[in-house]
A and B are shown apart, each in its own frame.
Chain A
Amino acid sequence: MSDIPSPPPIAARRGISVPDLLVALGVTLLGLALLAGSLKIPFGINAVVGPRVFPLIVSVGMTILGALLTVNVLRGGRAEPAAEEDTDPDAPVNLGAAGIILGGFLLGAVLLPTLGFVLGTAIMYFSVALAFGERRWGLMVFVSLAVALVTYLVFTHGLGLSLPPGVLKGVL
């Protein structure tokens, strides 16, 4: 999806990109945190290679890659945001929309066991539609509930999965 080779960054845009630097330092810190975690894993008993060797390799590798990435950023490297099917690379970045989706998803997830699968996922559906700029409120509520209900029925009755009915227990 995002594996399209991007053209080399334009030489004119020099200077160090702060977000890129934070990401590079984040990768390095993650490597160090993994290293600390790996060192806490005890050696295995009677094993030639214990449970700790592979985590050590991974964490040291991650730390080195983080350091290389930091050097790369300090020398002016910066990431090109991916171009996807429905995105516009020149559009103003709207983090609020992503926030609405995330918030709606977490709210739906927390309420899912009590309210039930249908209402929980309807909240999620509604929040995505909202974030993507849909404003026909009645239609949004109707489609949210319809999609959630049909999904629930197909998966529980058609495929035999068990999903929590919640407040709609007995009705469905």
Chain B
Amino acid sequence: MDALHSLFAGFETALTPLNLLWALVGVTLGTLVGVLPGIGPALTVALLLPVTAKLPPVSAFIMFAGIYYGGMFGGSTTSILLNTPGESSSIITALEGNKMARRGRAAAALATAAIGSFVAGTIGTALLTFAAPVIAEVAVQIPPSAKFALIMLAFVTISATFGGSPLRGLVSLFLGLAIGLVGTDLQSGQARFTLGRPELLDGIDFITVVIGLFAIGETLYVASRLRRDKGSVIKLEGGASMNREDWRRSWKPWLRGTVLGFPFGAIPAGGAEIPTFLSYTLEKRLTRHPEEFGKGAIEGVAGPEAANNASAAGVLVPLLTLGLPTSATAAILLAAFQQYGLQPGPLLFVTNGDLVWGLIASLYIGNVMLLALNLPLAPIWARLLLIPRPFLYAGILVFSTVGVYSLNNSVFDLFLLALFGVLGYGMRRFDFPVTPAIIGVILGPTAESQFRTALQQSNGDFSIFARQPLTAGILLIVVLALILPPVLRARAARTAKGTMSAER
């Protein structure tokens, strides 16, 4: 019952008029930016970081919570009305939701996405409320060597195990790690890779890297191969709403999607993409209307959207209790914590309990606000999709410039931004995923520090990584995760070849 007690204290923090206002600003801005095509939740949070620059930490994190959930809600609007998923976890929503909208059922598709997100978000937040303190209590006892191993696990699962090419994911990760090395080494005071530039002594700010790789890279890339035909935005009349039949067909997929999504968010396993695919497959198998799948089945929107939002809540479990981000958005939230001099992890529950519980309480509040904001106001958000592309991308670029320039008021940072923009362009052109690089930049320095602390505690004895049972176990999984997929793929290829030649 400790969790409930702390939660009530959190609500006391979150329910002050000023903090309610910040939560409302957060969900509104999050939805607004999330709806815009070309901007996923990760970039939404990064772009809006400067907005919180002058706020006290509690208010800032309450606002982040709103932006985080708001960005997830907003993405489904774009997917359904424009058929353009902002990120891979919205692919299914776009697939089935857009078909629904084309059949004149846009209002129902938007409603089942919004209510499903609300249900999943609320259940997910409740699970977070009770799981987080328990895990935090255990996590205090994890030794540095095991923390290092956990970070390795996050690195490998995010870059190598999932996604098209493990090799390209790892190159991206190492690029991020290299960027993270630039600056003064905190333990020895030694300058590393600064090329003699005093501006680089403090390291490269992650905001510059994130905005450069995501926003500038995206703008350059889209400009170079712009789609000339305008994607057709489906008109929406009236708010988002569902009839009795829609409710009957939606509520079970919502719950099943939540059950699938939450655990996938909580383990370092490549984010929300897999549970949305799983939920879609499951609903397709269980439905009484299989003929509608692929043509706009409401279950195919309800389940995956719930899975998507439940995993967003799940992501906060390792982030808050271990300081371990399992998605690009979580990595940016982690960096935002670090900017306030806070290190998410088990100790945060002890040292900054009011902040953590205020944040968790505001997740419940933000969810309710988002539901109220999304159902009746859906037509207003839909209008955002009509902004002409030249003005939209120009606006994204100017906003990016504010974010980066305001860090240090330095033009040098803008040159760095341009450099990462070109890099981001190259990564899109040559099929390198961006997320591993972001995780590398943000988590690389932490990995190094845990690595060195572990070795200092063992007096330089490297066998600590093999002798500490938890560490050894996690590192074994890391190695398997690296080796198994290529081996299995090679075997599958050989078998396929074998059957083909046998058939001949």
Contacts and interface: CB of A to CB of B under 8 A. Distances in A.
A65 B174 contact: yes
B406 interface: yes
A29 interface: no
B227 interface: yes
A91 B227 contact: yes
A86 B226 contact: yes
Contacts of B435: 3
Given A58-B177, A87-B225, A128 B397 contact: yes
Q: Which bucket holds chain A's interface residue count?
A: 35 or more
Interface in A31-59: 34, 37, 41-42, 44-45, 47-51, 53-55, 58-59
A148 interface: yes
Nearest to A122: B398
Q: Which of B51, B406, B430, B460 has the most CB of A within 10 A?
A: B430
Interface in B366-425: 388-391, 393-395, 397-399, 401-402, 405-406, 409, 411, 414-415, 418, 421-422, 425
A51 B433 contact: no
B178 interface: yes
Interface string B436-474: 000000001001100110011001100000000000000
B37 A85 contact: yes
Interface string A3-22: 11110000000000001100
B174 A1 contact: no
Given A82-B221, A86-B389, A109-B414, A69 B394 contact: no
B164 A6 contact: yes
Interface in A121-152: 121, 124-126, 128-134, 143-144, 147-148, 151
Nearest to B52: A159
Interface residues of B, number: 91
B91 A4 contact: yes
A125 B192 CA distance: 36
Contacts of B163: 3, 5
Contact of A41 (B192, B222, B395): B192
Given A20-B430, A101-B220, A125-B398, A163 B405 contact: yes
A1 B228 contact: no
A132 B418 contact: no
A98 B425 contact: yes
Contact of B84 (A86, A91, A106): A86
Given A95-B224, A143-B391, A161-B50, A47 B402 contact: no
Contact of A82 (B162, B174, B227, B431): B431
B402 A3 contact: no
Contacts of B399: 151
Given A1-B214, A151-B398, A161-B402, 4 more contacts: A109-B401, A110-B411, A121-B402, A162-B409
24 contacts: A1-B218, A3-B162, A6-B431, A19-B430, A34-B193, A37-B192, A44-B187, A51-B192, A54-B447, A65-B170, A79-B431, A81-B225, A82-B221, A87-B225, A91-B228, A97-B224, A102-B418, A102-B422, A108-B401, A121-B402, A132-B390, A133-B226, A147-B398, A159-B50
